[in-house]
Amino acid sequence: MMEFGKESFNVLVAPMLLFGSYYLIPKSVFAFLASAVHPIAPTVAWFGLASLGVWLQKSAIQGRDVKGLIRDRRAKTQNCIPFKNDLMSGKTVVVTGGSAGLGLEVAAQLLGLGARVIVTGTPAKDGEAAAKKAVEVERKILDAAIIVMKEDGVSVSERAELASKLHYHSLDLGNFDSISTLTAYIKEAHPSIDILVNNAAVLLPKFTQSKYGPCEDAMFFANAVGVYYLTESLLPFLKGSSGNSPRIINVASGAHIGIAKPAATPTKGQILREEPFVVNEFLQNYESQGDGNTIQKSKTYSSLQIYALSKLVNIFHAQELAARHQTAIVAMSLHPGGVSSSLFRSYVSIPDWLMHSVMPLMMKTPRSGAQTVMYCCLEEGSKLPSGGFYSECAHRPHGLSQVARSEVERTSVMDWVAQRVANIREQQQNSKR
């Protein structure tokens, strides 16, 4: 009798993945693909699943398990820019959302190249849990950074020196007090920053109320308003070094193209990109939808659209910073590609075995997804147009939607965000009197 091992498991998983995933993946995901990407996108997605099934069965025939395939993909990932020891020596970088996935990979690579790295993660429930999380995150980053430095490992003293350059701090982008605490820490401990990587983001399946208003969406607030407030708070410390302008890198998403509205009633299969969506109008509606229960029950509420809007704001902010500061700061936004990370686990329940085995085969690994971020960190400033949009290690202005290219839309949206921040700051100050 054949022993049930990893290879047999792959053979069984392949057909289950093809036929079972139809019932596991929310239909809203495929509706979003059809409207935001292309009408045939769902078909392409299913073709990808079929190819994955064939791949899994092939790996079983060859006697290789899924983890082996993932290791192969990671090993074959080429760096956009050749890494050199101490390439980032003397530089200080802040990486938000660095406790897992793409952010952890970016933090590890920068640390391994000699940078001093301040990495943030979501707050834990209590002090003891926070201490454990900090130790665990720092350990993971150190282990990954050592591979960047030397594949055969480092000495105890070298590891200790590396650890002295890594600093973990909790951050809740949905809480201005948490952002202010981080800002105060940086002001005292690291008053000069070379690069800010705004990677942290959340993707929630339904409306969740923020702490600043009954109809304030927590996901949009953290991804857009919170990132804006953090960036503006850290601007005084972004000074750069060695004649290089400091950099602000907003990890956005190609999903921003979903922010568009049809010119007429759509027919089946129609691509809805004829007329720009009036983003400011959407924000006004966002402010006046009553209470959280009303929004949550609304058939028009789409968390994927809210996520796409928040990423559009990240793009607009990079453009606005570039226009405001000219050559003093290089601000960029980018699309890392579809990366297998914990971001999706908050949107749809994904079993651990699927998250760590199959998902990395369907999507980019964190190391692969980190390449465009690293390109924006390491490339010569003269080759990086400020305010630009980047993908696949290159400046790709054509990757922007029609709305994302509109200066009128950008101005109105950024005015709205700045006013929202000012209102909250005023409320905080009044409450302290």
Axis crossing angle, helix 66-76 with helix 41-61, rounded to the nearest 10? 110
Could you tell me the pLDDT band of residue 385, with boundaries at 50, 70 and 90? very high
pLDDT of 303 > 50? The answer is: yes
pLDDT of 275 > 50? The answer is: no
Are the C-beta atoms of 110 and 201 separated by less than 8 Å? no
Q: What is the pLDDT of residue 52?
A: 58
pLDDT higher at 309 or 319: 319
The strands making up 247-251's β-sheet, listed across from edge to edge, are 166-170, 116-121, 92-95, 195-198, 247-251, 330-335, 389-391, 394-395
Q: What is the pLDDT of residue 412?
A: 86
Each domain of the chain, given as residue ranges in start order, spans: 6-64, 87-432
Q: What is the pLDDT of residue 1?
A: 35
DSSP state of 186: H
Q: What average pLDDT does range 365-378 have in this prediction?
A: 90
pLDDT of 284 > 50? The answer is: yes
Q: What is the pLDDT of residue 345?
A: 56
- The helix (H) or strand (E) run that includes residue 22 is helix 6-24
pLDDT of 414 > 80? The answer is: yes
| Percent of the chain topping pLDDT 70 | 63
- Cα angle 89, 90, 95 (rounded to 5 degrees) comes to 85
> Residue 10 is which amino acid?
N
Q: How far is CA 318 from CA 231, 246, 388, 390, in A?
A: 10, 13, 8, 12
- The helix (H) or strand (E) run that includes residue 74 is helix 66-76
> Residue 53 is which amino acid?
G
Axis crossing angle, helix 227-234 with helix 176-189, rounded to the nearest 10? 20
- pLDDT tens column, 316-333: 999 999 999 988 899 999
Q: What average pLDDT does range 375-390 have in this prediction?
A: 92
Q: What is the pLDDT of residue 287?
A: 56
Q: What is the pLDDT of residue 4?
A: 37
Are the C-beta atoms of 271 and 400 separated by less than 8 Å? no
Phi and psi (nearest 5°) for 102?
-60, -45
Task: State both tokens at 182.
Answer: 């981080």
Distance, in Å, from the CA atom of 81 to the CA atom of 376, rounded to the nearest integer, reads 10
Could you tell me the pLDDT band of residue 204, with boundaries at 50, 70 and 90? confident
The three state secondary structure string of 318-334 is: HHHHHHHHCCCCEEEEE
The listed range with the strongest mean pLDDT (117-126, 145-154, 176-185, 359-368) is: 176-185
432 class by beta-carbon count within 10 Å (0-12 exposed, 13-18 middle, 19+ buried): exposed
Q: Which residues of 356-384 are buried (b: 16+ CB within 10 A; e: fewer)?
A: ebbbbbbbbbbbbbbbbbbbbbbbeeeeb
pLDDT of 240 > 50? The answer is: yes
Q: Which CATH superfamily is domain 87-432 in?
A: NAD(P)-binding Rossmann-like Domain (3.40.50.720)
Comparing 1-10, 109-118, 204-213, 406-415, which segment has the lowest mean pLDDT?
1-10
Phi and psi (nearest 5°) for 198?
-85, 90
Task: State both tokens at 140.
Answer: 């993971």
Q: What average pLDDT does range 103-122 have in this prediction?
A: 94
Radius of gyration of the chain (CA): 22
- pLDDT tens column, 71-107: 444 444 567 766 666 788 889 999 999 998 899 999 9
| Percent of the chain topping pLDDT 90 | 38
Q: Across the chain, what does the average pLDDT equal?
A: 77
Q: How far is CA 282 from CA 32, 146, 289, 300, 337, in A?
A: 18, 47, 11, 12, 26
| Number of continuous H segments (helices) and E segments (strands) in the chain | 18, 10
Q: What is the pLDDT of residue 361?
A: 60
Q: What average pLDDT does range 150-171 have in this prediction?
A: 85
The listed range with the strongest mean pLDDT (25-39, 182-196, 274-288, 398-412) is: 182-196
Length of the chain equals 433
Strand-strand pairing, 394-395 and 389-391: antiparallel
Distance, in Å, from the CA atom of 418 to the CA atom of 228, rounded to the nearest integer, reads 8
Q: Quick count: other Cβ atoms within 10 Å of Cβ 321?
A: 25
pLDDT higher at 204 or 77: 204
Are the C-beta atoms of 98 and 107 separated by less than 8 Å? yes
Q: What ranges make up the beta strands (E) of 337-424?
A: 389-391, 394-395
Q: How far is CA 89 from CA 119, 155, 378, in A?
A: 17, 19, 12
Comparing 16-20, 306-310, 321-325, 420-424, which segment has the lowest mean pLDDT?
16-20
List % helix, strand, coil for the chain (3-state, nearest 5).
55, 10, 35
